[in-house]
Homo-oligomer: A and B are copies of this chain.
Amino acid sequence: MPKVLVAIAEGFEEIEAICIIDVLRRGGVEVIMGSLDTTLPIKGAHGVIMHADRPIKGLSADDLDMIVLPGGWGGTKALASDTTVQALLKEMDAKGKNIGAICAAPYALEAAGVLKEGYTCYPGIEDDLRTGGFEGDKHAVVESANVMTSRGPGTAICFGLAIVKKLLGLAAYEKVRDGLLAGYCETL
């Protein structure tokens, strides 16, 4: 089964993090919730404390099939300035591995220089990014080379499903989508 790191930093957006983690685990993906240091309980943007599984430090791109960043400005700024996360993003990109980010978090991809032309993010965040090809609300999820991006809490289940489709194929995607009652993702 594919292995995906979801990087969790204080101030992460709870709906976005949980939708990605829950949807991927429903698909059978091995999800690692990774923290920036050795403190595993981490507080989200709306006060919910969740436990990471392990620190990100010590993981290499060779251990992973994908890294995904949830949004929330606090978490995003931490991910954009963390040297371990930034180095891992560069290593993943150099090895052609999959990278994903939602909401504000494409900002942390741009900081690492791995965001591709053709992306989306939370409305307004594009003003802080220099990469061309902002696609706004044309699609809930935008895929450009090895990088997948999405818009915000309301598209987070659909983003998780798009990752399931990418990593596991259409049949797994359809099964998880139907179990979630998320047929609306087809229309976003």
Contacts and interface: CB of A to CB of B under 8 A. Distances in A.
A116 interface: no
Contacts of A11: none
Interface in A3-40: 13-15, 18-19, 21-23, 25-26, 33
A18 B182 contact: no
Interface stretch (A45-53, A84-92, A105-113, A126-134): A45-53
A15 B18 contact: yes
Most chain B Cβ neighbours within 10 Å, of A21, A48, A184: A48
A44 B51 CA distance: 11
Contact of A51 (B23, B48, B152): B48
Interface stretch (A73-81, A153-161, A162-170): A153-161
Contact of A181 (B33, B154, B184): B154
On chain A, which size bracket covers the interface?
A: 35 or more
Contacts of A151: 181
Interface of A: 13-15, 18-19, 21-23, 25-26, 33, 41, 44, 46-51, 122-123, 137, 151-155, 157, 180-184, 187-188
24 contacts: A13-B22, A14-B18, A15-B15, A15-B180, A18-B48, A21-B46, A22-B44, A22-B46, A33-B48, A41-B41, A48-B51, A49-B50, A50-B50, A122-B181, A123-B181, A137-B181, A152-B180, A152-B181, A153-B180, A154-B157, A154-B181, A154-B182, A154-B184, A184-B184
